[in-house]
């Protein structure tokens, strides 16, 4: 029997390629930093059984319908808002993601951003490099905000939100959270308190967002929500850009409605080089790197490859996003 065919939309890590190549004929787009053009994905998907894609690839119904032999779409990410999962399910295509492994790494990064904005780290670094440190030490230089002892508000208590909460213990913080689903099981373990979204926004000194992007979470933080926050509060986003209304956030930062923000994700990525956010000092910006540690990005590739190969072998993949698909196209070992 000829081997199944797989297309990978970016250069990943050798560990993952090895797993794929044992089971399939693999073609990899030669880009490292640049996404595969949509037309190329549309033409490649016609020929393959499996697609390993990234969050930069829009896998909509057009791509899915072009994939006549497609059995599995393996996303190299935990978030899967780039994929039309309903369309995939209708066509009997398994969709997988990479949850779990990037949780702690992303939580580390959310904390790095929180500390950086509170203590003005990026701004101070820019100032030194610009030759502005001319007066030795000064009692009022770069005054920021304390982090320890403050109130941390977590919006979305999934795996990543919980990992962020766990770290707050070391800073003696009061941790409050909002989630569509109350997690009483975690409240005692993590020492955190459930509140409404409005209460989290109005009581927290730091609000950190950890919800997936869905129709329900699109612009869930807009003008009204920002105006509920304390003037001294900071907003941190490592989830998906469109969860926050970026134009409203810009106004809030500029007009002093809130003190600052630290953003790893944006409504449009890459961020427009003319984005007005770039003019503000009270915002820390990173280019969607929250899961970017050597260890985690390598593990994500191995998990994405393992998920994909499982489906091709007729086995249940470890991280199936759309279990309903099993009724439409049951797995059978090949
Ligand atoms: C990164 O943003 C991911 O969803 O894995
Ligand atoms: C994603 O991994 C989450 O559940 O927070």
Domain ranges of the chain: 5-100+294-328, 103-285
C-alpha 100: how far from chain center: 12
The Cα 140–Cα 157 span in angstroms is 37
Q: Helix crossing, 14-23 with 294-312: angle to 10°?
A: 10
Walking along the chain (334 residues) 10 residues at a time, the average pLDDT comes out as 93 94 97 93 98 97 98 97 98 97 97 98 97 94 97 98 98 98 96 98 98 97 98 98 98 98 98 98 98 96 98 97 97 68
Q: What is the structure's pLDDT at 333?
A: 56
Q: What is the structure's pLDDT at 334?
A: 44
Looking at the DSSP bridge assignments, the partners of residue 206 are 152, 234
Active site residue 38: no
pLDDT digits (tens, 9 = 90+) for 192-227: 999 999 999 999 999 999 999 999 999 999 999 999
> What global pTM score does this model have?
0.94
Does residue 55's CB lie within 6 angstroms of at least one atom of ligand 1?
yes
The Cα 15–Cα 166 span in angstroms is 31
The domain 5-100+294-328: what is its CATH number? 3.40.50.720
Same CATH topology for 5-100+294-328 and 103-285: the answer is yes
Taking the CA of residue 300 as reference, the ligand 1 atom at the shortest distance is: 5
Catalytic residue among 210, 240, 248, 297: 240
Residue 213 exposure: Cα atoms within 13 Å on the Cβ side = 23
Task: Give distance in angstroms: CA of 183 to centre of ligand 1.
Answer: 23
Q: What is the structure's pLDDT at 32?
A: 86
Taking the CA of residue 79 as reference, the ligand 1 atom at the shortest distance is: 4
Active site residue 288: yes
The widest CA-to-CA distance across the chain, in whole angstroms, is 75
Sign of the alpha-carbon dihedral angle for 130, 135, 137, 140: negative
Catalytic residue among 91, 120, 159, 288: 288
Say which CATH architecture domain 103-285 belongs to: 3-Layer(aba) Sandwich (3.40)
Active site residue 329: no
The Cα 107–Cα 165 span in angstroms is 9
Instruction: Please state, in angstroms and as integers, the Cα–Cα distance from residue 18 to each residue in 21, 24, 41, 333, following that order.
Output: 5, 10, 22, 21
């Amino acid at each position: 029997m000829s081997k199944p065919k797989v297309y990978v939309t970016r250069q990943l890590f050798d560990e993952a390629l090895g797993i794929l190549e044992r089971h399939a004929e693999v073609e990899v787009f030669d880009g490292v930093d640049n996404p595969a053009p949509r037309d190329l994905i549309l033409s490649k998907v016609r020929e393959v059984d499996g697609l390993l894609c990234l969050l930069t690839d829009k896998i909509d119904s057009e791509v899915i319908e072009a994939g006549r032999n497609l059995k599995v779409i393996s996303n190299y990410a935990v978030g899967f808002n780039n994929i039309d999962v309903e369309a995939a399910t209708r066509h009997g295509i398994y969709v997988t993601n990479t949850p779990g492994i990037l949780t702690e790494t992303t939580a580390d990064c959310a904390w790095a951003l929180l500390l950086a904005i509170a203590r003005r780290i990026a701004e101070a670094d820019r100032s030194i490099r610009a030759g502005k440190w001319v007066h030795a030490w000064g009692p009022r230089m770069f005054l920021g905000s304390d982090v320890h002892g403050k109130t941390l508000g977590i919006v979305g208590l999934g795996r990543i939100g919980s990992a962020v909460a766990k770290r707050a213990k070391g800073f003696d913080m009061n941790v409050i959270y909002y989630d569509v689903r109350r997690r009483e099981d975690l409240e005692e373990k993590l020492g955190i308190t459930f509140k409404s979204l409005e209460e989290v926004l109005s009581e927290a000194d730091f609000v950190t967002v950890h919800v997936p992007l869905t129709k329900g979470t699109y612009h869930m933080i807009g003008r009204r929500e920002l105006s509920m926050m304390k003037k001294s509060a900071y907003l941190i986003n490592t989830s998906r850009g469109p969860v926050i209304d970026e134009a409203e956030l810009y106004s809030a930062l500029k007009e002093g409605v809130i003190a600052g923000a630290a953003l790893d994700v944006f409504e449009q990525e890459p961020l427009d080089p003319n984005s007005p956010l770039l003019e503000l000092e009270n915002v820390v910006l990173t280019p969607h790197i929250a899961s970017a540690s050597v260890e985690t990005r390598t593990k994500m590739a191995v998990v994405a490859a393992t998920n994909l190969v499982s489906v091709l072998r007729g086995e249940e993949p470890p991280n199936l996003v759309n279990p309903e698909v099993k009724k439409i196209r049951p797995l059978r070992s090949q």
